[in-house]
C-alpha cells in the first residue's frame, strides 16, 4: 500500500463519501479511494462509510467514520486550503450549516430515494452494482429485492413516513430556492471559498439533484443554477482561495440569513424535540414543523450532534457568542443555545 496516500473507503451512492472526497480534492490531500473492504486495513468500530484511515502516535492505522470530526482532524494534520473559517463566529455558523446538511438534508435524500416507486427502482437497481459490477444479472436482481426491502424498512429511522413526507418535501424545495438565491450573491455558503458546510450540503445534493429521479427532476427543471453548483463542487482543486475569502459575520449577506431561517423552521424544532424525547425517555418524538405534525422514533446520534453544537457554542468567547447571537437573531436557531452554557 502506498503510505503517502490517505486511504479512504466509501461508495458513490453515499452522500458522506462524496462530501469527504470532494473536500479532499479541494484541499489537494492525496488519497487512495477504496470501494471495497481491504484486508490490509482495520475495520471501523461502527460499520459506516466513508472510512478514513489515519495514523496514531505509533504509526498504526486507525479507522474513523464520522465525517464532521474527520474534517477537523484533516484541518489539524494537513495545513493549507482550510475548509474552516478562521473567525470563530463564522466557523460556528459554518459548523451549524454543516450539521444541517448532514442531519436534515439527509432526511430528504433518504425519503425520496425509498418513498417513490421510480426512485426505489433506480436505487435498487444501481446501488448494489457499486459493490461489484461483474456480478450476474440473476444475483443483482436478488440483491435489488433484498437491499430495497431493507432500506425501505429503515425509512422510519430518519423520520420519513406518511405524516412527515409533506414537511420533508416542502423543506427540500425551499432549501433549493434559498440556495439558488444565495448563489446569485456568492459562490459558496460562507463566501468566496468553500467551507465544510458546502461539502456537507453538496454530499446530499449529489444524490438529490443528480441521481434520484424525483428530487433530481425538481432541481433540473426549476433550479439549474443549483444543479450546476453541485457539479462544480465535485472538484474544486483548481480554485485558489484567498485569506479574506471567507465572509466575516458582518459581511454575511441577507441570503445567508434566509438559509439560517430555514434551519430555524425545520431542523431546529426537530433537533430539540428529539433531544427532549431522549432526555425524558420517551419512545416517540412528537412535535410540529411549520404547523404540520412531525412524528419519528428518537434518534440518539442526532441528540449527540445537538450536544456537540452546544459545546462548540460554549467555547466561543464573549465576542464570538455576540457575533453568533446577532447572526442568528430572528432565524429561530437561537433556540438551540443558552448563552455561555453547554446544555445536556
The 10s digit of each residue's pLDDT in 261-282 is 999 999 999 999 999 999 999 9
Q: Which residue has the cell 453568533?
A: 324
| Helices 165-183 & 254-265 angle (0-180, nearest 10) | 170
Average pLDDT for 124-149: 94
Contact of 294 with 319, CB cutoff 8 Å: no
Confidence check: pLDDT of 334 > 80: yes
Instruction: State the number of CA atoms in the 13 A half-sphere of 44 facing the CB.
Output: 18
| Domain regions of the chain by residue span | 6-77, 88-336
Confidence of residue 1 (pLDDT cuts 50, 70, 90): very low
Q: Which residue has the cell 456537540?
A: 308
How far apart (Å, rounded) are the C-alpha atoms in residues 128 and 136? Answer: 12
How far apart (Å, rounded) are the C-alpha atoms in residues 167 and 269? Answer: 12
Q: Count CB neighbours of 325 within 10 A.
A: 16
Nearest to 158 by CA among 15, 321, 27: 15
Contact of 326 with 260, CB cutoff 8 Å: no
Note the pLDDT tens digit of each residue in 212-249: 999 999 999 999 999 999 999 999 999 999 989 999 99
Query: Domain 6-77: what homologous superfamily?
Result: Glutaredoxin (3.40.30.10)
Partners of 285 in beta bridges: 296
Confidence of residue 166 (pLDDT cuts 50, 70, 90): very high
Nearest to 19 by CA among 65, 76, 88: 65
For CA atoms 256, 259, 263, 265, give the dihedral sign: positive
CATH class (in words) of the domain with range 88-336? mainly alpha
Amino acid at each position: 500500500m502506498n503510505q503517502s496516500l490517505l486511504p479512504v473507503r466509501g461508495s458513490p451512492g453515499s452522500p458522506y463519501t462524496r462530501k469527504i472526497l470532494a473536500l479532499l480534492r479541494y484541499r489537494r490531500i492525496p488519497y487512495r479511494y477504496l470501494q471495497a473492504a481491504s484486508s490490509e486495513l482495520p475495520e471501523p468500530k461502527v460499520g459506516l462509510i466513508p472510512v478514513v484511515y489515519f495514523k496514531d502516535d505509533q504509526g498504526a492505522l486507525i479507522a474513523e467514520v464520522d465525517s464532521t470530526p474527520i474534517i477537523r482532524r484533516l484541518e489539524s494534520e494537513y495545513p493549507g486550503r482550510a475548509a474552516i473559517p478562521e473567525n470563530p463566529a463564522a466557523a460556528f455558523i459554518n459548523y451549524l450549516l454543516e450539521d444541517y446538511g448532514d442531519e436534515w438534508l439527509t432526511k430528504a435524500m433518504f425519503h425520496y430515494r425509498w418513498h417513490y416507486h421510480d426512485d426505489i427502482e433506480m436505487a435498487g437497481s444501481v446501488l448494489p452494482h457499486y459493490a461489484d459490477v461483474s456480478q450476474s444479472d440473476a444475483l443483482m436482481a436478488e440483491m435489488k429485492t433484498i437491499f430495497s426491502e431493507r432500506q425501505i424498512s429503515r425509512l422510519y429511522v430518519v423520520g420519513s413516513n406518511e405524516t412527515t413526507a409533506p414537511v420533508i418535501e416542502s423543506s427540500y424545495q425551499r432549501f433549493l430556492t434559498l440556495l439558488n438565491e444565495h448563489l446569485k450573491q456568492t459562490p459558496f455558503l460562507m463566501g468566496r471559498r468553500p467551507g465544510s458546510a458546502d461539502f456537507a450540503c453538496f454530499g446530499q445534493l449529489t444524490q438529490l439533484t443528480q441521481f434520484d429521479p424525483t428530487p433530481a427532476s425538481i432541481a433540473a427543471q426549476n433550479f439549474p443554477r443549483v444543479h450546476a453548483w453541485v457539479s462544480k463542487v465535485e472538484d474544486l482543486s483548481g480554485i485558489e482561495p484567498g485569506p479574506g475569502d471567507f465572509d466575516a459575520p458582518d459581511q454575511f449577506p441577507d441570503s445567508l440569513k434566509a438559509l439560517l431561517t430555514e434551519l430555524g423552521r425545520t431542523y431546529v424544532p426537530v433537533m430539540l424535540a428529539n433531544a427532549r424525547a431522549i432526555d425524558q425517555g420517551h419512545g416517540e418524538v412528537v412535535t410540529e414543523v411549520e404547523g404540520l405534525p412531525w412524528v419519528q422514533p428518537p434518534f440518539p446520534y442526532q441528540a449527540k450532534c445537538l450536544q456537540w453544537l452546544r459545546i462548540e457554542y460554549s467555547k466561543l468567547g464573549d465576542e464570538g457568542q455576540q457575533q453568533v447571537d446577532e447572526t442568528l437573531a430572528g432565524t429561530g436557531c437561537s433556540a438551540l443555545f443558552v448563552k455561555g452554557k453547554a446544555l445536556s
